[in-house]
Structure 1
């Protein structure tokens, strides 16, 4: 059995142009197709491609928008043609005295945002929601707030890269989740002191159920059913394949439904996750404080690197100054020598030895008689 060819779609840039020409926002187009705004954003950026019925509905809507755009262009062309005809008719008549026209007011150019202003706008837009989402992963309010602040501080340090990213919020979200779910968080002193649970019994049960899930399954569930990402986007953010992400999502849903059967419906689960995150009073710090904290951490790291480099240079110089300049062979270890007689004090001389000594003393110490041999 052969599959029918997929419905052709225009390029991603053309999809966005058709939506903007029809004066539609991404949420409005998502409502008409039946997907989330994040899915439409991914389609228009080229990160993902629609499939199945969603592709058919999306292609049909784009075709309708293209026909409407063509109709608008044709109507505009007709209007321009009529205007040209009226212009030719006016040229055939005597030229009237031109009236003075008021000088056009200078158009104000859009003011470009500074990096700090762009960062503050991104933080104010996404930080509160990211803190609530991170709370669902950790169950700790202070850890969720710190994770989001650290993620934004890292984004500020790499701001040119983050500003050019197609999804800056996704970049910060992935960094915050990685920091919040890091294994070394359990070794921090405050991790030994549990925080007060939610006041509502239902929220407390749901949070405990989430925390019982493995970190990867918990993150997949929060991204798909909490944030609203589609399966390919969830797989890309968790750095897993799409089949593996689907299996994690199914296991997480089964575990939640096993303890809370009322949440077996994904729509009910999505609503309860949003309620659980919204019921907690989670506040994020002000953008200038986050930027200042990131800059202080960067200065401390720079100073630490400089101090380490200076210490390394000093140690190297000291080693070069005190190191030997020539090779000295090592002294071999001593060995015991056996069979040598012990030293003894000399005894008295014999008569022959005394005679020989006297003879040597009586003879001259130098002279030819010592040099010329003689027979005895």
Structure 2
């Protein structure tokens, strides 16, 4: 009865507290919240009242990092602009190449675009003025210069144009020779197979450098057909390899090959092994045969151990015989002869095992 009374009192008390809380919520808190609500938030004096633009350079605020170590970033995309609302989040490009989204209150503009535009406009004006002055000077000179001087100037201009054309033509020929020299290896070949990649090269190649799937690069001396083996973990997935053919410290050709994933069943080198037995999807009949053979061998080995233990216990019992009654002497003699024969058989078995 005391428990029921206490439970009833606690229930009444909690109900009273809830009612009081709800009354204060409606009368006090909501009125206080209405008085405290505001739309315009106060900010620092130096804040800019403009929206960020794409391509603007900003400084990213980072917690627990000094201000002189804050990173410089570039605005790539403006978010929250589809609904017509003001921009709150933007995507920025960091110096390491990653793109992240950050709120604009964590960004500080450098105002480089405005300065650049002003400097560019000033430079353009100066260039235009210089050009106008030069044009006026040239027009004055042309009027005062004789026809012979005009012809000589035209000849010099033509010579300059011809020299520039010849120079560009020589550069194109030189680049073409470099490209043809670097790709001059018709017998170089790289193929994908189940073990890795097969590389074949002519005699003029001295060595080649192999880089596969973001792993360490290795160099090998020249062989007619070189089999570069790759781990099974990478063979099962899409992988690519780059082979640089070298001839007397000169890179003749850079060959890149993309390999498709290999069949995991073909990567198992044996038929009667533990790996084949575990991968039952590759060859179910062979795996079932191996499981059956292993179970039979295990049962046979267990039976053999049981027989050996049984015979050893019999030997121990023969070494320590019990008291025999006079009536069962004939039966005990027969047992003794059987034990002797078993001992002889065990001895011969042990000798054969030792020889093997």
TM-score scaled to structure 1, two decimals?
A: 0.20
Higher-helix-fraction structure: 1
* Structure number with bigger Rg: 2
TM-score scaled to structure 2, two decimals?
A: 0.21
